[in-house]
Structure 1
Amino acid sequence: MHPPADPWGEAVARFLGDLLDDVAIDLVYAPDGPPNSTRPGPPAQPWSAVLPGPTGWSATLNLHLSPGSRALYGATGPTDLPSEFTDLPGAAARAIDRITVGADPAAGGVYPTLAVALHDVVVAEILAEKVSERSVADVPADVALLVSDTLSYVTELSQRRVEGRSLTHGVVIGPATTEVAERRGQVSYPADVRALKRTPLLFDGLRSCLAVGPSGAVQGEITRRSLAALDIEDLLEPLEEALGDAGALVAAASRALNGVGFFLAADQAIWIFDQGQPLMLRRGGRWKAIPFASLIGGLAELVGSQPLAALVARTALLASLDNHGAIIAVVDSSDRVEGVVEPKDRYDVARSGEGEGPAEFLVHRLLHADDLDVATLLRLAVIDGATVLDSLGQLLAYGAIVRSESSQGEGARTAAARTLSRVARVVLRVSEDGPIAVFVDGAQIATLL
């Protein structure tokens, strides 16, 4: 006995597979029991959820990480999702519930516009759950509607131009607290500010952003000065280093308010931040997950250092956002790159002052890259070639030609990353189109963005 078509289940499964790379998705169907039998409740596991299936059937959505991603994110089994996205199956079930109330599955496939709407509803459910679970006071019954309306407003702004330039905007939705925040005239977001031309100009997400409670009441603006007054250690500066000016203020505000931040960038991308960390990005109409904290944790296990993992991950993220290609590798020590990296590209050898060396050594000796930060590493990483660090975070080579093995029907950058990964602890390959691939022992184990 085969189940009937389930266009909504299939649509949400395709979206989750596109949102979070390296995840396998199963939809399992079972016929409903007799009329008086008990319909199965939601599974207790965070990697599984019961969806509203076709008439007469129940559908169970299961998510499984690929073996490579399990190793990267420190998962103990295939069903351990990155900690930032444990609510994905549940959010999908709630989203389908919202959209399909009263719908007739026999009416045919899902309209493409409705499928896109479903994507935004899934995202809204994920973010609303984060706000609700952190609240210590009562929250409105439907925070997801506020999140959805916020996404709609930010999307509208992305399609506007003022005086010939694209708009930017920033807002943070924080959890409900026991304290009653000052509310200026009971302004409701985004309803009361939607039609005002000056809203995105005043709260551009670069110099100022809005703070909003879970009811939609605006609680005030957040500026760099007001963040400094909070006296939270390392609140803004590390985020400016990791993200640049674009997005750092909203990210810092989301950390300070323990909430979720929305930042519309000048390139029309929509960033979602959660407690200071990038969580999701919508670019070119597609949502992509950024399990950034989990990525840094996984890289730390591979390279043996949390600060080094953070340095490499943040640099790769910035290169991706700037549409630059890059290869960043971490090896145990300098002897691991002998015979793999061309001698002329060795920064460490040039700085040691041993012999005259090739002409490139003259430029190597002019650089001050002995104490790397994100800005310096990014400047070097986007030069064509590979950038190699040792496990102590010292620069060994940049712009390096890698003596690659024969290509497996892939681009030169991928072939170089694969070859380098055979002698490295880990290699990150950044495509000019955005995706970041992680290589270990000659194999690509994970992809994000």
Structure 2
Amino acid sequence: MVHPCATKVLVIGYVWPEPRSSAASGHMMQILEVFLQQGWDITFSSPAGFGEQRADLTALGIREEPIELNNSSFDTFISELKPDIVLFDQFMMEEQFGWRVEKHCPDALRVLESSDLQSLRHSRHQRLKERLKASDDNNDFRKLFAPALREEFEHMADTDVAKREIASFYRCDLTLMVSEVEIELLVEQFGFARNLLHWCPLMVDLPDSPPVPFEERAHFLHIGNFRHAPNWDAVLWLKTAIWPLIREQLPGAQLHIYGAYTPPKATALHNPAQGFHIMNWAEDALQVMSAARVCMAPLRFGAGIKGKIVDAMLCGTPNVTTPVGAEAMHGEEAWPGAVVNTAREFADHAVRLHTDKARWQEAQTHGKTLLANRYRQSLHGPALIQKLKDCQENLANIRRDNFTGSMLRHHHHKSTQYMAQWIEAKNRHNEQPCGI
């Protein structure tokens, strides 16, 4: 039962969380769990429709409140709720609802859950497209995988999505970042204030039971939501370049590919004769990960940190990935598998892990150490709560010192307010019966 004086939190979600479908939703659920452990009073709202695999938040004691875009009903809703903290899930929700939150609950702490730096992901996607157009070499991507932070900045700085996203960060009192690399990019290249950012990676509890042993596992595995563009690109690279090289060395090898929202273009790749199996959605991702011998994450672009790799470590499953997949994941710790730049390297290391028990066990041990040192909820959960409390106590000073954010709120919120009110009036007019 929630205490009547408990901190009230309103989460405005881009989607209703589907933790079995995406790492972003998984991270949101981890944040909600940290709030629940504090006994906080949580309301989750979203303008999105209900997805197929959404979590049952009400079973956790979290209220669910659907909301509408460009509708003043939200004003009544938030005025009655009077939250102490408003958490925007992705910058688009701050763009849509930030002005309403500030107008009706000016004293509420405004926090943004970034999930990943979307402008970085979009920039990298564009560079991959340019690289694929310029060369038909589908093997070596080392130049694409190793840009300096300055180069990343130069590719991002003139894009609309970077300007929108980083402006949204400024308009909030705090932004949660899963990637230390992205924090450094924002601070060193964009000149963003470090105190407005908080490192909050994926937060997990370490498994109690030992992992499934080497002898009881079989096959290679790739897993990821097909609606997420980096995952679909990874499947294509597997199909066209990496998997044929693995089958040359292991003719009977099988690759099982799982993913939510499997499109026809993915099921068309299903080819049992080649050992290439499109398995659709996994009811229990950890179960299928525990049954696999090697997890493959051939990501050619992306941002943030990778939920599939954290899941692999939780299951004691070594992985092979790229520098994009490993970015911001391991700090100074040894990698639980291999990080490679080419399709040939990917295939060779995957085969070694699949066939060499000693190498496989060593990688598994690295994963266990990495989890314990970087991803424990018992470390990051309390740190998040303390940061939020510090921000609440110093809110006036934070907003005074963030003059850039104040300017951006002044101009953006006015224009967004007028546009939203115009859309709402237009919608009301369109709904009126003819002749009125």
TM-score (norm 2): 0.24
Higher RCO, 1 vs 2 (CA within 8 Å, ≥6 residues apart):
2
Larger Rg computed on CA atoms: 1
From the two aligned structures, give the one with the greater strand fraction: 1
